[in-house]
Structure formats: structure tokens, C-alpha cells
Structure 1
């Protein structure tokens, strides 16, 4: 069980690093990674900026599609929480909270291959 937890943790870190590199390559500025709200209500994987837009990015990394597409794990409830966390981040960093967008970045790492799917503007 401990090995499985280590594997998942390493897979998640690798996915977030690949996601951040991808976002920079497509022209976004990374403002924060793994930001935790001071009140303990949650964490934002990546906070970025694309032009004037504050982008809150949820990264989902998987080693297979056995349990479905990673974007399916970003529920409506999670998206709402990300909006609240995005406003909290903006307030804490004196950054305008609008316009703001919630993106999902799905990373599939399978047998040495990496596939990324960037879902912009999750509702």
C-alpha cells in the first residue's frame, strides 16, 4: 500500500510539472503552484495568467484510462470550489479576481508516452 501511495504521489508531481511546462509553452505565466488557502478550504494546483485572465488550473494525472478520462474527476462541486479558491488567491495576492477562468489539464502517462488534454473554461 505504501508503494502505491508513493507511485501516485510521484505520478502527480510529474504531471503537474509537465502541465506547468505546457502552459508556459502556450504563453501563460505561472503565478503559483500548489497554493493552499490559509483557511484550509483547499488547494489550487496551478494559478496562471493568460493576458488579463486569471486562470485557475486543476491538474489530473493518470497512468491509464482504466477509471475513465481524468477530466471526469473534476466535478461541478470541485469547479465551484476552484472559483472560490481563485478569488481567495486573488485577494491574498492583490490581483484582480476577474476575468477568471477554470481550466482542467489532464495528463496521461502510459508506457513512456505522455498525452495532454487542456480543457479551457470548465463550467
Structure 2
């Protein structure tokens, strides 16, 4: 076994360990769902615990809800996946209206779970996953991407 073969073996082992530890994604899912799955994996790698996925009610939908166990912070995550090679940033699609819908859904979630005094933040994960690519080409996580547009509503 030469040096290059041992590196390939090590990369394979590392990838299998990460799949076991942080989760996998469904390669046959739609692009948006794959983006959410890879974003959840990315957040788990950062030490966050995913407590809900695709949480929705009549107020809106939240892609991921994570918990930072060290700081006891609830994190509401919006995932935007760009499936083309055209220029543009996926996070630009989180406009003021989308922010307001996410904030309303977050408030309803906190009320439902009796967590109204818990500090929270809103993050955006941008994923670039061109069509016909097996893996995303780029993932960016923006912590505290926006403040709640609802006055006197969020902590």
C-alpha cells in the first residue's frame, strides 16, 4: 500500500465517521430538502443540537431549529439553496417579508413550547449546490443574520 492509497483510505474512513456522527443527506431528495439536510449536518459539526426540522404552522415555516447547549440559546435557521451557477447569493432571498414570517413562526413556536423567556437568534445558512453535482460547492453560515422585525416581541 503506497502513501496515496493510505490517504484515500483515511478520507473514506473520515467521511464514514462524519456520516455516522453528524448525519447524512438523501441524494434523491429535492434541492431545497438536500440543502436543509446538509445545513443540519454543518450545524451539528459546529456543536449545535438540531431540535426541529421543517417546523410549520399557519404562521409560517422554519427550516431548522437548533439549540446551543453551552449558552442555552434557541437558534432559528433559514436555509437557502442555490442550484445554479449564475451569480447571486442565496441569502439575498431572505427579504424583510420573509424575516417577518420567520419571526412570527418563531414567536408561535416559543409560545407553544413555553419558552418565551429564552434568548434566541436568527441565522441564515446559504448553500450553493449546482445541478448534477454530488455535493455542495460552498456552505456559509451567517450567525445573527437579522433581528426580529416585530416590535417588542422577541428576546
Q: Could you state the TM-score of these two structures normalised by the residue count of structure 1?
A: 0.83
Give yes or no for contact 1:86–1:97 (8 Å, CA) kept in 2. Answer: no
Aligned positions, number: 113
Asked if the contact 1:44/1:57 (under 8 Å) is kept, the reply is yes
Aligned to 2:107: 87
**Please, which runs of 5 or more residues in structure 1 have no aligned partner?**
1-8
Name the larger-Rg structure: 2
The aligned residue for residue 86 of structure 2 is 66
Q: What is the aligned partner in structure 2 of residue 122 from structure 1?
A: 145
Could you tell me which residue of structure 2 aligns to residue 41 of structure 1?
59
More contact order relative to length (CA 8 Å, sep ≥ 6): 1
- Separation of aligned partners in 2, 1:76 and 1:36: 19
RMSD: 1.7
Matched residue, 2:51? 31
Query: Of the candidates 124, 128, 135, which is equivalent to residue 104 of structure 1?
Result: 124
Cα distance, 1:80 vs structure 2? 2.2
Structure 2: segments with no counterpart, 5+ residues: 1-28, 147-155
The answer to whether the 8 Å contact 2:59/2:104 transfers is no
Name the TM-score, length of structure 2 as normaliser. 0.67
1:86 deviates by 1.1
SS at match of 2:30: helix
Distance 1:34 1:109 in 2: 20
